Amino acid sequence: MTAMSSGCSRYVQLSPDEFRARLPEALAIYVNAMHYPEGTAEQRAPMWLTHALREGWRCMAALDADGVLLGLAYGYHGRAGQWWHEQVRQGLTRRFGHETAERWLSDYFELTEIHVDPQKQGKQIGEDLLRRLLEGIDKENVLLSTPEGTNRAWNLYRRTGFVDVLRDYHFTGDPRPFAILGRPLPLDPR
C-alpha cells in the first residue's frame, strides 16, 4: 500500500489483494452513495473483482486517521470486447458516427467507479481521489459514465474539465439515462 497524506485523510493506492479485503466496505459506500437497494452489493461484488484483473487496473482509497474507508476510485485501460466499451461504441457510432467513436475509444482509461461516503462528501475527497487515480496514466483520454442529473459528482466532473461525449444514453438492462463524459489526459493542475 502506497500512502500519501492530505488534510485529515490518507490516500493510498490499493493492490488487488487490498481491494478484495476492503470490498465489503467499498460496496457499502457505493450502495449508500448511489442510493441503491439492498442486495446491490452482492450483485456487484463479482464484477468489481473481475475489474481488478483488467490491464492497467488502478485503485485509490481515502482513509480516515483510523484507517476507515471514506471513499475510493478505480479504473483500468478500456478496450474492445469489454461490455462498457462496446455499449459506448454502439451509442457513439449510432449518434455521431464511427470517427467520433474511434476518437474517444482508441486510447482511454475508463474511470469505472468513484464514490465517497455521503457523510464525507463536500470535503474535496472526491476530487483528490480523481486526481490521484489519474496521475501518471499514460492514455490519451479518460472516460466515465454517470446517471443524468446535477449533483456533486457532476460538479466535480465539470470542475475538472470533463465534457459531454454522449448524453441521455441507455445502457442495456438499465432504464435510467446516463451521460458519457470525457476529457484528454493529463488533468490540468489545480
- Could you tell me whether strands 141-147 and 163-169 are parallel, antiparallel, or unpaired per DSSP bridges? unpaired
Helical H segments across 97-151, by residue range: 98-105, 125-134
The helix/strand/coil state of 35 is coil
Residue in the block written with cell 441521455? 168
Q: Which residues are catalytic?
A: 157
> Hunting for cell 482509461 — which residue is that?
109
Residue 10 backbone dihedrals phi, psi, to 5 degrees:
-110, 140
